[in-house]
Amino acid sequence: MKAIRKETPTPGVTFVKNLPESAHPLPGQIKIAVAAASVCGTDLGIARYTPAAQAFNLKLPVTMGHEGSGTVVEVGEGVTSFKPGDDVALDSHIACFDCYQCSIGNAHICDRMQLLGLHVDGLFAEFCTVSASAAYKLPQGFPLEAAALLEPAGVAMHALQSTGEPMLGKRVVITGAGPVGLFIAELAKLGGAAKVVVVEPNPWRRAFAESRGAVALEPSENASQAILDLSGNRGGFDVAFEASGHPSGFGTAINALRKAGTYVSVGFGNAPVELDMGEYLNRRGITMVGSFGRRLWSTWDLLVALVAEGRLDLDAFITHRVTLEEFDHALELLSGDSCKVLVIPSAV
């Protein structure tokens, strides 16, 4: 089968034309025919073999791809929740469902987590054999391309859940209008936020954010004041989501908050940042929370319901579709004028 592989601990990826088709599923596994797989910033990092990608301790060689959907073609012994013909989307975090965190309902931060497409063969291929515990069964007729976006949209949904507060009437600022930042903006608006402001250097992404109903600002020397001017009479925003992973995003986001506002760390960069705890946590009373992955499976249930009821249009975030052969082009698109880029393995 065709696949995109990371074979050696060096920059680059390999398009393989005749990889043996993925194996029959072992007990507890399912085999799926991949319908669509979404390309993400992590894939670009793996391709370039950046320090952040190396920190994942990749298990090479590996078939890449960790956001996607498909149809079950075979199930292993003991699998009762899935049968051939079922449509599924996969969580990239393969939890053990056995460790302490899993036992208290925190499977998204499982102590023995494996990552699809980084530690086990992933979705940039025609077929993928994977633990059934990482699969979410889609309702009948759920569009498979939109399903490939449930993983990254889930990051956004979980970030909103992490604030522990409703968005209704809130003024919200987001630094970084990559796909996750844009999903946060979309969901915050759906949740009733009064105003959503995104701060993003790329003009195409700013325009995209505005087309979705957000106010978009360019980061600049005096951006902090310009942002604060949009926050109304509360002395700052109620909630700030840092979704860029860029060190400057931290300062922009936290300084945009009102007293007793909430800071949510979503993107994560490579370098530590400094924080004056006395000023921000004591005097200003800022609450800081971090968000990682998605809740299994409450995040998924909420998103699937929004899509199924026509309240959330994930297709609107798909800007490009490529074949496996065109994967290098997909990586180029990622750092340019695009939102979500899908790889369609069956396309030629």
Longest Cα–Cα distance of the chain, Å, equals: 62
Site string for Zn ion, 42-71 (x = CB under 5 A): x-----------------------------
Complex with Zn ion: residue 24 or 112, whichever CB lies closer: 112
Q: Which is nearer to Zn ion, 110 or 217 (CB)?
A: 110
Q: Can residue 341 be called a binding residue for Zn ion (CB under 5 A)? A: no
Q: Cα separation of 267 and 155, whole Å?
A: 10
Cα–Cα–Cα angle for 115, 288, 156, nearest 5°?
Answer: 45
By CB under 5 A, tell whether 38 contacts Zn ion.
Answer: no
Amino acid at 104: I
94 is a contact residue toward Zn ion (CB under 5 A): no
Indicate which single residue of 4, 32, 39, 40 sits in contact with Zn ion (rule: CB under 5 A). Answer: 40
Task: Kindly indicate which of the ranges 49-57, 89-97, 156-164, 225-233 contains the residues binding Zn ion, using the contact rule CB under 5 A.
Answer: 89-97
Residue 42 vs 252, nearer CB to Zn ion? 42
Task: State which of positions 157-186 bind Zn ion (CB under 5 A).
Answer: none
Stretch that binds Zn ion, among 93-101, 213-221, 223-231, 274-282 (CB under 5 A): 93-101
Residue 108 C-beta: closest distance to Zn ion, Å? 10
Residue 102 binds Zn ion, judged by CB under 5 A: yes
| By the rule CB under 5 A, 89 interacts with Zn ion | no
SS3 string, 110-162, reads CCCCEEECCCECCCCECEEEEEHHHEEECCCCCCHHHHCCHHHHHHHHHHHHH
Cβ closest to Zn ion, residue 31 vs residue 340: 340
96 is an interface residue for Zn ion by CB under 5 A: yes
Residues between 255 and 314 that touch Zn ion (CB under 5 A) = none
DSSP 172-232: EEEE--SHHHHHHHHHHHHTT-SEEEEE-S-HHHHHHHHHTT-EEE---TTHHHHHHHTTG
- The candidate with the shortest Cα–Cα distance to 289, out of 141, 162, 125, 148, is 162
Number of H helices, E strands in the chain: 12, 18
| Binding interface with Zn ion (CB under 5 A) | 40, 42, 95-96, 99, 102, 110
